[in-house]
Amino acid sequence: MESAGVPPRYLRYTWQTWPRKKRQDLLDWPSKPGPEGRIPWTVFAYGPKGSGKTHITTAVLADLLCRGWTCKWFEVAEAIEEVKAEFADEVYQGRTMKALKETPIILLDDLGAERLTDFAADTVAQVLRYRYNREKFTLVTTNMELEELDSIDSRLGSRLGGREALQINFAGQRDWRL
């Protein structure tokens, strides 16, 4: 999980440490990458802070890593800052954006927590449109509701909430860290 960029705090977020009932629809992934198994284009976990969104999506990511998939974990605000910094760097120019677009499976943690500048909104929308159009599996966590995603891009709510997406609504869950 470290090689996938999972921060040290979240390395323990696996199915073994998930405190609630396991969801079979999140465990039935293909055993390896390839055409024999299709997975939804996204798992979209939304709800209040501390409700378990990062834990469950990181557990899915860990499971997929164990099954041979190539995955990368991103905290959205940090990824946007890296993309911005790489525009001026001749050595690393575009490395983060390429990883955001091309990695077979990514986790975008805390969408909407970033300061919503035009650059941030454009970057997030570009990444999600690219991945959606190419059916690249994307895990997303956010405190935003589907309707609020329209502030980033008018099409995001319907794509993340559409029938090709698996939504996990944590509304009503209390902050389990308290």
Tell me the CATH number at 111: 3.40.50.300
**Residues spanned by the domain of 89:** 66-136
Mean pLDDT of the chain: 84
Contacts 24+ apart (CB under 8 A), 3-7: 4/61, 4/65, 4/71, 4/72, 4/73, 5/72, 5/73, 5/74, 6/58, 6/61, 6/62, 6/73, 7/73, 7/75
Q: Which of 99, 27, 79 has the alpha carbon at shortest distance from 56?
A: 27
Per the domain annotation, does 77 fall within a domain?
Answer: yes
Tell me the pTM.
0.87
Residue range 147-169, pLDDT digits in tens: 777 777 777 777 777 777 788 88
CA distance readout (Å), 24 to 29, 50, 60 = 10, 22, 11
Confidence at residue 39, expressed as pLDDT on a 0 to 100 scale: 67
Per the domain annotation, does 36 fall within a domain?
Answer: no
Residue range 91-131, pLDDT digits in tens: 566 899 999 999 999 999 999 887 788 888 889 989 998 99
Query: What does residue 2 show for φ and ψ, rounded to 5 degrees?
Result: -60, -40
Scan for tokens 């440490």, then name that residue. Answer: 17
Confidence at residue 33, expressed as pLDDT on a 0 to 100 scale: 54
Q: Quick check: 168 and 48 in contact, CB under 8 A? A: no
Q: Quick check: 53 and 171 in contact, CB under 8 A? A: no
How many independent structural domains does the chain possess? 1
Per the domain annotation, does 85 fall within a domain?
Answer: yes
The span from the CA of 47 to the CA of 174, in Å, is 10
Classify burial at 54, counting beta carbons within 10 Å of its beta carbon; exposed 0-12, middle 13-18, buried 19 or more: buried
Confidence at residue 151, expressed as pLDDT on a 0 to 100 scale: 75
Per the domain annotation, does 16 fall within a domain?
Answer: no
Percent of the chain with pLDDT over 90: 40
Higher pLDDT, 89 or 74: 74
Q: Partners of 109 in the beta sheet?
A: 75
Q: Hey, is 160 helix, strand or coil?
A: helix
Confidence at residue 53, expressed as pLDDT on a 0 to 100 scale: 93
Per the domain annotation, does 110 fall within a domain?
Answer: yes
Q: Quick check: 168 and 21 in contact, CB under 8 A? A: no
Per the domain annotation, does 122 fall within a domain?
Answer: yes
